[in-house]
């Protein structure tokens, strides 16, 4: 059996914050959106609003469309039907406002690049693909590297970094473009427990200090519970959203983990304990 036991400050559940901007156009809006392939839609008829400054945890079974949803927000996947707007703009017009952190496996460690080389690539969303970085871009890159705690590794080849450090490189690359929205696809996957906690602490800080809107795909609900305002749950092509207390139910979580699940609560914090895998 595996569980999530944490102590100290990280285990405290902050008071659930209301969305910080509920007026005007400061929202990400999905209007009757269907995503996927013509022969096989993955998500159907999505009606969803995410407000500026919210932190959203995205959960659901494998293959339910979590990564697809993120990719639709950066224009990598176009809706089959419906419309997506980001702070009042079409997706392609708003891309400069978004930092996208894909799964760590997308980072090619065979490429002979240092941490600085990888992070400054994030500036090209601002300066243009065929323009040379200026001194201001270099300063912003150095700051983004410092923000994720990798200053001492700035000139280290990425192949020499640990898994957690490589994940931080991807986050720094997204931050270097000064985004208003940060999308993260399983940022704590395949790294050790210490690195997981450090990454979540970093994201929580960024969310609070910069009023970043964060959408984070994860399977570890215990890990992200202290930092999210709402949980978005996907299943059978549909999307549901609510407070962590509303969405982290035994029924939903057993579908995600394909295992027996116990959901407990102590001192205002939900804890999910995952048991043996179902058989049959």
Cβ pair 114, 158 in contact under 8 A: yes
Give the pLDDT confidence score for residue 1 in this predicted structure: 36
Mean pLDDT of 264-273: 79
Contacts of 119 (CB under 8 A, 6+ apart): 141, 144, 145, 169, 172, 173, 176
Token pair of 189 as six digits: 């996957």
Angle ∠(252,20,35) on CA atoms, nearest 5: 45
Mean pLDDT within 257-266: 84
Q: Which pairs count as long-range contacts for 37-40, CB under 8 Å and 24+ apart, including other chains? A: 37/80, 38/80
- The domain limits of the chain are 19-245
Report how far apart, in Å, the C-alpha atoms of 191 and of each of 33, 116, 164, 166, 195 are: 34, 22, 6, 10, 6
Please compute the mean of the pLDDT values over residues 157-163 and round it to a whole number: 92
The residue among 269, 223, 255, 280 whose CA lies nearest residue 61 is 255
Mean pLDDT, range 100-109, rounded to an integer: 82
Nearest in space to 244 (alpha carbons), one of 7, 59, 27: 59
- CA–CA dist 173, 199 (Å, integer): 14
pLDDT digits (tens, 9 = 90+) for 69-99: 999 999 999 999 999 999 999 999 999 899 9
- How far is 29 from 82, CA to CA, in rounded Å? 11
pLDDT score, position 9: 34
CATH of domain 19-245: 3.40.50.300
pLDDT of residue 265: 80
* Residue pLDDT, tens place only, 186-225: 998 888 888 898 999 999 999 999 999 999 999 888 888 8
The whole-number pLDDT of residue 106 equals: 73
| pTM for this entry | 0.84
> If you ran DSSP here, which 8-state letter would residue 84 be given?
E
Residues 142-166 as b or e (16 or more Cβ within 10 Å = b): bebbebbebeebbeeebeebeebbb
More confident residue, 213 or 251: 213
């Amino acid at each position: 059996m595996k569980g999530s036991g944490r102590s100290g400050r990280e285990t405290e559940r902050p008071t659930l914050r209301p969305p910080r901007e509920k007026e005007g156009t400061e929202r990400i809006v999905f209007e009757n959106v269907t995503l996927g392939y013509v022969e096989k839609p993955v998500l159907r008829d999505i009606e969803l609003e995410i407000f500026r400054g919210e932190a959203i945890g995205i959960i659901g079974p494998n293959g339910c469309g979590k990564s697809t949803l993120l990719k639709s927000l950066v224009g990598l996947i176009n809706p089959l039907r419906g419309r997506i707007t980001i702070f009042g703009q079409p997706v392609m017009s708003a891309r400069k406002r978004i930092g996208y952190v894909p799964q760590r496996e997308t980072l090619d460690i065979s490429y002979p690049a240092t941490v600085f080389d990888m992070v400054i690539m994030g500036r090209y969303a601002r300066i243009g693909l065929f323009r040379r970085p200026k001194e201001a871009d270099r300063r912003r890159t150095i700051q983004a590297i410092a923000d994720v705690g990798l200053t001492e590794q700035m000139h280290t080849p990425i192949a020499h970094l640990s898994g957690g450090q490589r994940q931080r490189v991807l986050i720094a690359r997204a931050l270097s473009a000064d985004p208003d929205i940060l999308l993260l696809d399983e940022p704590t996957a395949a790294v050790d427990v210490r690195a997981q906690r450090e990454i979540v602490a970093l994201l929580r800080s960024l969310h609070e200090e910069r009023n970043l809107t964060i959408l984070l795909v994860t399977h570890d609900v215990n890990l992200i519970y202290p930092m999210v305002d709402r949980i978005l749950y996907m299943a059978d092509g549909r999307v549901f959203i609510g407070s962590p207390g509303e969405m982290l139910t035994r029924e939903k979580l057993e579908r995600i983990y394909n295992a027996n699940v116990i959901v407990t609560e102590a001192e205002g914090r939900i804890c999910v304990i995952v048991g043996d895998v179902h058989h049959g």
